[in-house]
Amino acid sequence: MTQTDPFDFVIVGATGDLTMRKLLPAFYQRFRLGQAPEGTQIIGVARSKLSSEEYRERGAKALKEFVPSDSYDAAQAEAFLELVQYASLDAADKDADWSTLKSLLDGHEDRPRVFYIATAPNLYVSTAAAFADKELISPHTRIVLEKPIGVDLASAEEINTGVGRYFSEEQIFRIDHYLGKTTVQNVLALRFANPMLERSWNSGTILSVQITAAETVGVGARGPYYDTSGALRDMVQNHLLQVLSLVAMEPPASLTAADLRDEKLKVLRALKPMSPEAVAKDTVRAQYVAGEIDGKAVDGYLTDLGDDTSTTETFLAIRTEVRTPRWFGVPFYLRTGKRLAEKATEIVITFRPQPWPIFQDAPKPSRLVLRVQPHEGVSLTLSSKDPSKDEFRLREATLDVSYPEQFHTRYPDSYEELLMDAVQGDPVLFIRRDEVQASWRWVEPILAGWKEDARALETYKAGTWGPDSSKDLLARDGSKWLEDF
């Protein structure tokens, strides 16, 4: 672990679910590893009238609930919470009482200072303006913006331009926690550290690519937010397009932020545009209705939302292409949804079949599956001679590597590395402004087509893999989703 000097990390929106469920547990894990040294301050900022001690009590409950039992230690949690302070403040209001926060930061201008904005995106600009007005932005200050950056290209540009009045692009860290997942980063290692794979990573060898992010949970308490967002804005515009760009990018000149993000941007700009005809033909959108998860009855989306009507999609599947010589003619399938049959985030690379038959059995195409979560690992499915048959018959065999078992280590939560990268000023795993622009430019025609009902909203039972039309999307190319092989 790269050790750090003391730093100040200010979390705006510090009483929210993200802070309690993810950010404080992530800092606790890094404290255990010595990356949050004595003198560090983690300062929670929110409007709730709490003392630092009362906030630490909330933090203690969150650590006990959300830190895995095998890494939770009560004494270490207590020691970590000594670093935590709290300031009651509406950070988007210049006229509020800023004295507590200013006193905590006074005299620390020469050390790293991070403002993490875990609030609604419409408060990003006013919050940045307030930091500037109170003269809290030093040369060593960074600002971290949670997704989503806007709801469309225009609002994203408004946020980026507004925050950019007070922070330089080098100081703005747009976070996408999928890039903090070690298994997502491992796409780079598998491709570029293993020439046998990289030399096969093209349309001459690969038949199709599918990227799935499936959840078994419903919208829960996020219902009001989710109903204004939907799966396309919530998952595709950021997470899945970032994963796609890592899968499809050309080798970067180096792993520096500039080189890596340049290559990702080229992929985003090379995505096949979604015309109204393509939206009708190459997308599926649906909403879950009542069904069963793990043998238990669960409600439909409208019941979870507490509303009678909604056209918000909780499932989508999209077929697209990357218009580069490497990927000519290779379909890329994106799929995400709530209340699906299993929780799984995975990348499936299907290789082209044998071009001529010499076996009695037609061998199934080989598949490389990169499991992002859960059961982090990689598997390669191959055809082999069936040892139970005298005649030459084929049988599938799978070479499987579980990363936790292989490396005998805890796989860190995605926020752990990202938080420390922000402290250290390393932007390589964060999103650049032009990437946000390119993503929204590709997504907006889909949103517009759905608004005009170019593709009707379907339904699917909770506990299934979505509507049958998502299977038809692949069947046109003679392909299947992984669970159907």
Residues identified as active-site: 239
Q: Which of 116, 118, 119, 121 is nearest to 152 (CA)?
A: 121
Segments of 52-185 assigned E as strands: 84-88, 113-117, 141-145, 172-174
- Provide the 10 A C-beta neighbour count for residue 151: 16
Give me the residue label for tokens 């949690």: 77
What per-residue string of b and e applies to 357-376 under the rule 16 or more CB within 10 Å gives b?
eeeeeebebbbbbbbbbeeb
Q: Which residues contact 375 (CB under 8 A, 6 or more apart)?
A: 402
Q: How far apart are CA 80 and CA 371, in angstroms?
A: 32
Residues 6+ apart with CB under 8 A from 417: 180, 182, 429
- Report d(CA 375, CA 433) in Å as an integer: 33
Distances (CA, A) of 346 to 15, 185, 369, 372, 480: 32, 13, 7, 5, 15
290, 299 Cβ separation under 8 angstroms: yes
Q: Are 44 and 84 in contact (CB under 8 A)?
A: yes
| Residue 290 burial (C-beta neighbours within 10 Å; 0-12, 13-18, 19+) | middle
- Using CA atoms, how far apart are residues 368 and 355, in angstroms rounded to an integer? 19
Query: Alpha carbon of 232 to those of 214, 235, 301, 447: distances in Å?
Result: 13, 6, 16, 8
Q: What are phi and psi of 142, to 5 degrees?
A: -125, 155
Helix, coil or strand: residue 114: strand
Residues 6 or more apart whose Cβ sits within 8 Å of residue 355 = none
CB distance 307 to 329 below 8 Å: no
